[in-house]
Chains A and B, each alone.
Chain A
Amino acid sequence: MKSSMITAVLLLFISIIYAQSKTIEFIEYDLENGLHVILHQDNSTPIVAVSVLYHVGSKNEDPERTGFAHFFEHLMFEGSKNIPRGKYSEIVESNGGALNAFTSFDQTFYFDLLPSNQLELGLWLESERMLHLMVDSVGIETQRKVVKEEKKQNYENQPYGSLLEETFERAYSEHPYRWIPIGSVQYIDMASYDEFMDFYRTFYVPNNAVLSIAGDLSIDQTKELIEKYFGDIPRGTLEIPRPDIIEPEMTSEVRDTVFDNIQLPAVIQAYHIPEMTSKDMYAIDMLTTLLSTGQSSRIYKELVDNQQKAVAAGSFPLTLEDPGLFLSYAICNAGVDPADLEKSMQAELDKTKSELISDAEFQKLRNQMENRFVSSNSRVAGIAQSLAEYYVYYGNTNLINTELDNYMEVSKEDIKRVANEYLTEDARVVLYYLPKSSQN
Chain B
Amino acid sequence: MIRKLSFILIILLSVTVYSQIDRSKVPEPGPAPEIQIGDYESFTLSNGLQVFVVENHKLPRVAFSLVLHRDPVLENENAGYISITGQLLRTATKTRTKDQLDEEIDFIGASISTSPAGVFASSLSKHTEKLLDLMSDVVLNAVFKQEELDKIKKQTISGIKASQDDPNAIANNVRKALLYGKDHPYGEIETEESVNSITIELCKKYYDTFFKPNIAYLAVVGDITSGEAESLIEKYFSAWEKKDVPSFEYKNPRAPLIRKVALVNRPNSVQSVINVTYPINLKNFSEDDIKVSVLNRILGGGMSSRLFRNLREDKAFTYGAYSAFASDRLVGSFRAYCEARNSVTDSAVTEFLNEMRKIRDEKVDADELEAAKNYLIGSFARSLESPQTVASFALNIARYNLPKDYYKNYLKNVQAVTAEDLQQMAKKYIKPNNAYVLVVGKADEVADKLKPFSISGKLDYYDMFGNEYDPTKKALPEGLTAESVIEKAIVALGGKENLEKVIDKKSTLKGEIQGMSIILEIYQKAPDKYYQKFDMGMMKQETWFDGEKGKTVAMGREVPLEGDQLNEMKVEATLNLPLKLAELGITPELTSMEQVDGKDAYVINLNLPSGKYWSQYYDVNSGLLLKQVRTMDSPQGSITVTSQFSDYKEVEGVMYPHVITNSFGPQSITLTLEKIEINIGLDNSVFSVQ
Contact = CB atoms under 8 A, between A and B. Distances in A.
Q: Do A and B associate with each other? A: yes
Interface of A: 3, 6-7, 10, 17, 19-22, 44-47, 81-82, 86, 89-99, 113-121, 123-124, 128, 131, 141-146, 148-150, 152-154, 156-159, 216, 224, 227-229, 231-232, 261-264, 293-297, 301, 304-305, 308, 311, 331-334, 360, 363-364, 367-372, 374-375, 377-380, 436
B26 A81 contact: no
Contact of B27 (A20, A121, A262, A368): A121
Nearest to B382: A47
Q: Which 6 A-B pairs have the closest CB atoms?
A: A96-B378, A371-B109, A94-B371, A46-B33, A145-B316, A294-B106
A95 B378 contact: yes
15 contacts: A93-B302, A93-B378, A94-B374, A98-B379, A146-B312, A149-B340, A157-B167, A158-B166, A159-B162, A159-B166, A334-B157, A375-B59, A378-B61, A379-B385, A379-B386
Given A152-B339, A294-B106, A305-B98, A374 B61 contact: yes
Given A146-B316, A227-B14, A311 B162 contact: yes
B258 interface: no
Contacts of B318: 146, 149, 153
Interface string B583-617: 00000000000000000000000000000000000
Given A47-B385, A261-B268, A97 B378 contact: yes
Listed residue (A118, A150, A153) with the most chain B CB atoms within 10 angstroms of its CB:
A153
Given A146-B312, A263-B161, A374-B61, A96 B377 contact: yes
Given A95-B378, A294-B106, 15 more contacts: A93-B302, A124-B27, A152-B271, A153-B318, A157-B339, A224-B14, A228-B17, A228-B18, A231-B18, A295-B101, A311-B155, A360-B107, A371-B108, A378-B58, A379-B385
A149 B106 contact: no
B151 A19 contact: no
Given A149-B341, A224-B14, A95 B23 contact: no
B217 interface: no
Contacts of B29: 95, 115, 117-118, 120-121
B60 interface: yes
A367 to B, nearest CB: 4
Given A47-B385, A115-B381, A149 B109 contact: no
A294 B111 contact: yes
A364 B127 CA distance: 13
Contacts of B102: 294-296, 301, 305
Interface in B27-60: 27-35, 58-60
B319 interface: yes
Contact of A152 (B162, B270, B382): B270
A370 B23 CA distance: 46
Nearest to A46: B33
B58 A22 contact: yes
B33 A153 contact: no
Contacts of A295: 98, 101-102, 105-106
A42 to B, nearest CB: 9
B32 A117 contact: yes
Contacts of A333: 154-155, 158
Contacts of B514: none
A415 to B, nearest CB: 16
Interface string B257-285: 00000000000111100000000000000
B120 interface: no
Nearest to A86: B313
Contacts of A47: 381-382, 385
Contacts of B381: 45-47, 96, 115
Contacts of A94: 304, 367, 370-372, 374-375
Nearest to B96: A3
Interface string B296-324: 00000011100001001110111100000
B658 to A, nearest CB: 42
B247 interface: no
B159 interface: yes
A297 to B, nearest CB: 7
A121 B26 contact: yes
A14 B18 CA distance: 54
B397 interface: no
Given A91-B26, A116-B33, A19 B18 contact: no
A369 B109 CA distance: 8
B165 A262 contact: yes
Given A231-B14, A333-B155, A368-B109, A374 B319 contact: no
Interface string B644-677: 0000000000000000000000000000000000
B489 to A, nearest CB: 31
A149 B339 contact: yes
A282 to B, nearest CB: 16
A123 B23 CA distance: 11
B6 interface: no
A115 B367 CA distance: 19
Listed residue (A86, A115, A131, A363) with the most chain B CB atoms within 10 angstroms of its CB:
A115
A157 B341 CA distance: 10
Contacts of B302: 89, 93
A261 B165 contact: yes
A379 B382 CA distance: 10
B234 interface: no
A216 B102 CA distance: 40
Given A308-B151, A371-B124, A374-B59, A46 B35 contact: yes
Given A117-B30, A121-B26, A374 B124 contact: yes
Interface in B99-151: 99-111, 123-126, 130, 151
Nearest to B21: A228
B271 A157 contact: yes
Contacts of A113: 382
Contacts of B14: 224, 227-228, 231
A194 B580 CA distance: 81
B385 A364 contact: no
A372 B111 CA distance: 11
Contacts of A311: 155, 158-159, 162
A117 B32 CA distance: 6
Contact of B313 (A46, A142, A363, A379): A142
A263 B124 CA distance: 40
Nearest to B385: A45
A28 B21 CA distance: 25
A98 B382 CA distance: 9
A115 B27 CA distance: 14
B684 interface: no
A93 B379 CA distance: 9
A375 B110 CA distance: 11
B378 A153 contact: no
Contacts of A374: 59-61, 124
A227 B108 contact: no
Contacts of B167: 157
Contacts of B270: 152, 156-157
Given A45-B385, A146-B316, A120 B30 contact: yes
Contact of B161 (A44, A92, A264, A380): A264
Contacts of A93: 302-304, 371, 374-375, 378
Contact of B123 (A144, A364, A371): A371
Contacts of A377: 59
